[in-house]
Structure 1
């Protein structure tokens, strides 16, 4: 929980933080929080309605399948599943403990690689898998 959430959800902490604020400042905060609350409520209602519509469509499909005598087993092979393709390792190091570390070169530099680069004064190109 962040500090601001701790302050906002504890009345005594909030009171202490508001001691030096003017009435106008407090009113502005209340208006802003009320607007945020309304936005959140609308968003939640939209999500609930979308879920309700989705479930109604699923129920309709189930009913249609039942009426046609089709079960999930009959169509499960038609369902396309998407999986992320694993990216091949592009760099490899062996640390001081003899442990091998591999990295695709994507994303943030793993700690083991950063420590290796700093210690040996090399770049990732020196660790390229050939």
Structure 2
């Protein structure tokens, strides 16, 4: 929880922070918070309505499929899916606990590998899977 949230959600903390503010400043804060609340409520109503519409469409599709005697198994092969190919591990280490870690070499260096490199004084090339 951020400091501002802690202050805003604790009445005594909020009171303390507002001691040096003028009434005009406090009124402005209240107006701003009220505006933010209204925006958030409107966004939430839009999200709920969009979910309701989507679920209604899904129900209509289910009903149409049921009436046509079509099940999900009949159409699942038509749905285009492209499963991600898992990249083979290129590097392997065994840490101090005896746990084996593998890494493809892509992306950020995993913490276990970085610690291993730092403590063992080796590079990733020394960990290549042969």
- Measured on the aligned residues, the alpha-carbon RMSD in Å equals 2.4
- Map 1:1-130; keep pairs closer than 5 Å: 1-130=1-130
Moved more, 38-47 or 80-89: 80-89
Q: Sort the Cα spacing of 1:37 and 1:63 in 2 relative to 1 into closer, same or farther, 3 A.
A: same
How far does residue 81 in structure 1 lie from its aligned partner after superposition?
Answer: 4.6
Aligned pair count reads 130
Q: Sort the Cα spacing of 1:92 and 1:73 in 2 relative to 1 into closer, same or farther, 3 A.
A: closer
Unaligned stretches of 5+ in structure 1?
none
Unaligned stretches of 5+ in structure 2?
none
Deviation track 1:50-79 (CA, whole Å, cap 9, x = no partner) reads 111111111211221222222334334444
Q: Sort the Cα spacing of 1:25 and 1:107 in 2 relative to 1 into closer, same or farther, 3 A.
A: farther
Q: Sort the Cα spacing of 1:71 and 1:40 in 2 relative to 1 into closer, same or farther, 3 A.
A: same
TM-score by length of 2: 0.78
Q: Sort the Cα spacing of 1:106 and 1:18 in 2 relative to 1 into closer, same or farther, 3 A.
A: farther
Matches of 1:106 and 1:24, distance apart in 2: 55
- For 2:92, what is the secondary structure of its paired residue? strand
Matches of 2:85 and 2:99, distance apart in 1: 25
